[in-house]
Amino acid sequence: MKRFDESATRVRIKEEVTELILTGRGAGDVSRVQFAKGDWKRDLEERKLRD
């Protein structure tokens, strides 16, 4: 994706996703974070980060 080529944008997205995992839906537990759909890597679909 073009927007990931911009280092400032990439850093901001990484920080925001990390914050969501730690304090949001993930509640600090990566075993609860699951990929719903991954057109870019289908073998991740329905898998969790701990897998």
* pLDDT digit string, tens, across residues 1-51: 565 567 888 888 889 888 887 887 667 777 777 777 767 778 877 777 777
pTM here? 0.50
Give the residue among 10, 45, 47 at the shortest CA–CA distance from 30: 47
Spell out a b/e string for 5-20, using b for 16 or more CB atoms within 10 Å of the CB, else e: eeeeeeeeeeeeeeee
Tell me if 37 sits within 8 A of 45, measured CB to CB: yes
